Structure 1
Amino acid sequence: MIPTKADMYKALEERHGKELQKKFASASVAVCGLGGLGSHIAFALARAGIGRLLLIDFDRVDITNLNRQQYKADQIGLDKTEALKENLKEAAPYVQIKTYCKKLTEKNIPELLDEADIICEAFDDPECKAVLTDTVLNRMKGKYLVAASGMAGLGSGNIICTRKITENFYLCGDGVSEVSEETGLFSARVMLCAAHQAHIVLRILAGEHDA
């Protein structure tokens, strides 16, 4: 039996406190890219009681995603936006979710992300990362951007960290390790970076702005 919305909210209040949970519930967070980083970021935020998630990706679930992303084998071929929405609703049935199955561009970013308080960059393509970062920081003043760089390989998880780059820009990862023929992506290390991103979102909403 699925708990009522009131019961689930009460349980979150007991864990986080009434005032903090109220801040989480009233927040809107965008997750741009729904792969190994984005799918885990979305789950962490939904479980924390974030009120509204904007999920953005133009890709479909592939068998190669299953080693590190929050999808199921029977979802192969589905749009990632709809597959992740379905999975999130199983864990957090009352989170409001808006999906955009499209590629973000310099032109559409301001419109699509306007309602988000905080924007999470979770792309694996350097060009997409650059376009989102440049557009948000230069054209969407006042928005918080939480990005990632460096989470590939089997290096120590202890070097993954969160750095505050500017007043509204945070960067998570080790800043070094990139995907190559010799260095792949492993679920546990990618999840560590995603957890850093989700955690700084919660800290920002709580009024804690240091990294």
Structure 2
Amino acid sequence: MQVEINGRRQALACHTVFEARSQFGGATDVVILNGFQIDSDHPLAEGDTLTLIRKGAMPSREELESMMMARHTPTVHKKVKQGRVAIAGLGGLGSNIAVMLARIGVGKLLLVDFDIVEPSNLNRQSYYIRHLGMPKTQALQSQLAEINPFIQVETRTVRVDAENVPELFGDYEVLCEAFDKPDAKAMLVNTALDKLPDIKIVAASGMAGYASSNLIKTAKPLARLFVCGDLENGAAIGRGLMAPRVQICAGHQANMVLRLLVGMEEI
């Protein structure tokens, strides 16, 4: 019987999952059979995919790919791995979007921001005390390497303007707009729509304060533009930017990116 174990085809004489685990792994390994984690023994069939995850150890590239493929399904994982996504702005939205996209294994990420990490960022952005004073691009790149060292992460520590948008983002299929200021958001979206006819843009508007989570949604105002947020609650006196709603909106953006990468453009 031929079974795929951690990305390799193996000829087995045994007939159950736990028998295979005893032969190729250890008794404490997490077992994923055809994309589902199992806790009790199960018969093996010709062509099954078995992933054995060693607890507490960093897997090889091949093993990690096999694990992620088991979780995502092969077709979805292949599309995500081939994805090229740029993130403009690495604050509360962008830093959290980058972490989520790294976790799902997007093959190539571009991180763009001109700023450094400072104390007020810590209430909602994916940074830690050890990052204070570091360029956000460098701090975030180091975090992503700890999540998935096998994806490609490029950084540009520059301020985005109308002149450099085509050069920065022209090689990417999806652009995440994650700026704080409305004028910068409008500049990036309008320039990308005008100068980059093939790119899809996932933007955000309205995630400040602590209004209901259910107000945050994803809209599609134009064929290549998707906007996440409640479209109303911007930061103002008495209504600051706080981690929960900012991260909910970042989750909407990351999920829309995922949907675009797998070919689903409806909201």
1:1-211 aligned at under 5 Å gives the runs 1-211=57-267
TM-score (norm 1): 0.98
Secondary structure at the counterpart of residue 66 of structure 1: helix
**What is the identity percentage for the equivalent residue pairs of Structure 1 and Structure 2?**
42
Distance in structure 1 (CA, Å) of the matches to 2:142 and 2:59: 17
Secondary structure at the counterpart of residue 42 of structure 1: helix
Distance in structure 2 (CA, Å) of the matches to 1:105 and 1:150: 22
4+ runs of 1 displaced by more than 3 Å? none
Bigger relative contact order (CA 8 A; separation at least 6)? 1
Q: Which has the higher strand share?
A: 2
TM-score (norm 2): 0.78
Equivalent residue for 2:51?
Answer: none
Q: Looking at CA atoms only, which structure, 1 or 2, has the larger radius of gyration?
A: 2
Secondary structure at the counterpart of residue 123 of structure 2: coil
Amino acid at match of 2:260: I
Greater displacement, 76-85 / 87-96: 87-96
Aligned length: 211
Amino acid at match of 2:108: R
Secondary structure at the counterpart of residue 193 of structure 1: helix
Amino acid at match of 2:149: P
Distance in structure 1 (CA, Å) of the matches to 2:183 and 2:130: 31
Amino acid at match of 1:184: G
Q: Offset at 1:190?
A: 0.3
Q: Offset at 1:2?
A: 2.4
Amino acid at match of 2:172: A
Q: Which has the higher helix share?
A: 1
Secondary structure at the counterpart of residue 257 of structure 2: helix
Distance in structure 2 (CA, Å) of the matches to 1:203 and 1:66: 29
Q: Any idea what the Cα deviations from partners look like across 1:149-187, whole Å, max 9, x if unmatched?
A: 000001000010000111111000000001011100110
Q: Offset at 1:210?
A: 0.5
Q: Any idea what the Cα deviations from partners look like across 1:42-61, whole Å, max 9, x if unmatched?
A: 01101001000000000000
Amino acid at match of 1:40: N
Distance in structure 1 (CA, Å) of the matches to 2:244 and 2:60: 33
Q: Any idea what the Cα deviations from partners look like across 1:59-111, whole Å, max 9, x if unmatched?
A: 00000001111111011000000000001111111110000000011111101
Distance in structure 2 (CA, Å) of the matches to 1:109 and 1:8: 34
